[in-house]
Homo-oligomer: A and B are copies of this chain.
Amino acid sequence: MTQHTALSAQPAGPGESAAGPRIDVEALGSYLLGRWAGVRRAARDLTADPDLHRIDGLPMAEHRRRVTAQLQLLVERGSVHRAFPSRLGGADDPGGNIAGFEELVLADPSLQIKAGVQWGLFGSAILHLGTAAHHDRWLPDVMSLRLPGAFAMTETGHGSDVSAIATTATFDPATDEFVLHTPFRAAWKDYLGNAARDGKAAVVFAQLITGGGPRAVRHGVHAFVVPIRDDGGAFLPGVGGDDDGLKGGLNGIDNGRLHFDHVRIPRTNLLNRYGDVAPDGTYSSPIASPGRRFFTMLGTLVQGRVSLDGAAVAASKAALAIAVRYANERRQFRATPDAEEQKLLDYQLHQRRLLTRLATTYAASFAHEELLAGFHEVFSGARDTDADRQDLETLAAALKPLSTWHALETLQECREACGGAGFLAENRLALLRADLDVYATFEGDNNVLLQLVAKRLLSDYAAEFRKADFGVLARWVAAQAADATWHRTGLRQMVQTVADSGSEKKAANYLKDEASQRALLTDRVGAMVAALAGSLRGAAKLPPAEAAKVFNRHQHQLIEAARAHAELLQWEAFSRALAGIKEPGTLAVLTRLRDLFGLGLVEKNLGWYLMNGRLSAQRARTVGPYVNRLLHRLRPHAQDLVDAFGYGPGQLRAAIATGAEGLRQQEAIAYARRARGSAPVPEQQPQAHV
């Protein structure tokens, strides 16, 4: 076990990359593939098929047709039905289904998301919100694509606030029908995939109303299956719509708008698992509270967020595989006049740009694997209490914002790190980024999701004395026991200064210690939540409008606390994953990578740690240099670390990640060697003006 010496805080000696730890790339690759390795491998083989690839520059109409045809190919190859019941031809394998689905992003994100609309949203809504009769009646056609459908939740006027949508579904006992209606322009359904062209039906979310006139009662948002087009593709009577037209990306999907003018559907088209209406108009539900019912219904759709988390991780991996390969071949500038030009990845700044994001990508990947496992537990029914569902939803709401923003930032940094080549479509990065852009706001706006996480943190905090175990949060209770005075007066900082007795090495030992990192990250979340709880404590007694103002004055803090919590979750997942790595070389390198991730978080929030007395100025000053040292020591392993992602030419398909740049550089170097001696000499520097 070479771990101890490998992790030494001593500067790397000159022979380090030869004598130091080595990654077992194949073993690490298998480990990263996780629980559904077989499904992922099969999905990656699928994404290598040119028939499923995006063709850059297709006009929107052709791109849409191509993606629609590709969906049919997915059906033929049996790649998209794992989540559906076995009795209908599925595999009752919700986790495996997502694992395969998220890999599709590297064929064409439009294909991934259009498949997600058809089977993940439209089909899932029927599966999870409907009951057996609905499954029998519609799922076979949904699975076979004979019934392409839209998922009509969002309205032009209501995105994140789903409970406020304005479309109504009023029950008419005279005809045993619901009447779907759009009362005004802002209530049009909007941004719906499959709505502009392909959709024959839609699952429409609307306010369910029973009883007429003054006795009318609104039971909140429910889902209805509504036919929208005839076989010729024309809108059915009362249905209208619009094409959302060109978008910033994902132009293989026919997003559009829908509206309803007193459209009648049979009563039995209500997806009635969580709320039903009898022929006499009596409403019933297994969940008495309308609020809890609403959140339960929405909760069944969490898989969208889970799969975006996974797709964002996959795209980040691909981007880094392209940019690291290029940075390992491309040369620019000479250190000295007779040296060869330096490889980009030997520059400290380039390491900062790519390797820090590589560390975050590993963290996000391990965190996603845990999220996916949790999702599978709940949706396979293995662990499916209300609390399990709420934990899953909170975890998805925490991870999806971080991973989707991370993907955008990584794609952008990789594109810039590849210079002009990064901007060419042939190198994937720019167009992948354009497609993934909307991942930050769909299936839950990232900021709204983080706010939900913060509210959960606050309610867990309030429940502190009632609940013995609440996972991650338990730890910071201990941290809170210490008086805030301890931190704020600088007592802790003084102790750190004395402990380090001015030694950078001691400070570095502290930073690379897993327990220190955990304490720093955990303590921050705890202290932020406690501070928020303190600030908001009085609000409960204020009139609602005043309370809302107090809440709003702390909104930025709320989001920051949720982000800190989500980052801690990623760090914990990374640390847990280290426990599963047996091979010492791989473990040594990945431990450094985890340290880079953890200390990168500390470095980013250094102001907080200092301001709140968690780090002495002396220790704080060692963080940046220690991060730089980690970058230097990880640099020799960069190629192995991206190779372990397991993406080959079939998935990457980037001209600069094929070795072409390496060949060009070799050709140039060989030319210079041949010319040596016969090359023109440089003009002499004049004596006077050097």
Contacts and interface: CB of A to CB of B under 8 A. Distances in A.
A317 to B, nearest CB: 20
A335 interface: yes
A332 interface: yes
A425 B160 contact: no
A217 B680 contact: yes
Interface stretch (A245-253, A475-483, A588-596, A644-652): A245-253
A209 B682 contact: no
A685 B220 CA distance: 12
Given A434-B434, A437-B415, A683-B283, A332 B423 contact: no
A290 B441 contact: no
A349 B451 CA distance: 10
A545 B620 contact: no
Given A613-B617, A689-B292, A59 B56 contact: no
A141 interface: no
Interface stretch (A77-85, A260-268, A363-371, A662-670): A662-670
Interface in A140-176: 154, 156-161, 164, 166
Contacts of A617: 488, 490, 610-613
Interface residues of A, number: 125
Interface in A477-514: 488, 490
A157 B665 contact: yes
Contact of A186 (B425, B664, B678): B664
A553 interface: yes
Nearest to A285: B683
A154 B420 contact: yes
Given A420-B441, A682-B220, A686-B288, A157 B552 contact: no
A554 B248 CA distance: 38
A71 interface: no
A385 interface: no
B57 A60 contact: yes
Copies of this chain, complex-wide, total: 2
A537 interface: no
Contacts of A416: 440-441, 445-446
A185 B660 CA distance: 10
A689 B289 contact: yes
Contact of A689 (B220, B288, B607): B288
A633 to B, nearest CB: 13
A184 B289 contact: no
Interface string A87-106: 00000000000000000000
B683 A247 contact: no
Interface in A23-70: 56-57, 59-60
Contact of A441 (B164, B347, B422, B668): B422
A387 interface: no
A494 to B, nearest CB: 10
A187 interface: yes
A333 interface: yes
A217 B681 CA distance: 5
Interface string A206-224: 0101010010111110000
Interface in A616-673: 617, 620-621, 624, 628, 632, 663-665, 667-668, 671
A408 B445 CA distance: 20
Contacts of A621: 611
A352 interface: yes
A159 B420 contact: yes
Contacts of A553: 348, 628, 632
Given A289-B690, A606-B607, 8 more contacts: A158-B332, A166-B671, A219-B683, A249-B423, A352-B556, A430-B437, A553-B628, A611-B621
28 contacts: A56-B246, A159-B420, A164-B333, A186-B668, A214-B678, A216-B680, A218-B682, A246-B426, A248-B424, A248-B431, A289-B689, A290-B685, A292-B689, A336-B548, A347-B555, A349-B447, A349-B555, A349-B556, A352-B556, A423-B437, A556-B628, A603-B607, A610-B611, A610-B617, A610-B620, A611-B617, A611-B620, A613-B617
A-B pairs with the 8 shortest C-beta distances? A248-B430, A606-B607, A335-B548, A216-B680, A246-B425, A610-B610, A336-B544, A288-B686
Interface of A: 56-57, 59-60, 154, 156-161, 164, 166, 183-187, 190-191, 207, 209, 211, 214, 216-220, 244-249, 283, 288-292, 331-337, 339, 341, 346-349, 352, 408, 412, 415-416, 419-426, 429-431, 433-434, 437-438, 440-442, 445-447, 488, 490, 544-545, 548-549, 552-556, 559, 603, 605-613, 617, 620-621, 624, 628, 632, 663-665, 667-668, 671, 678-683, 685-686, 688-690
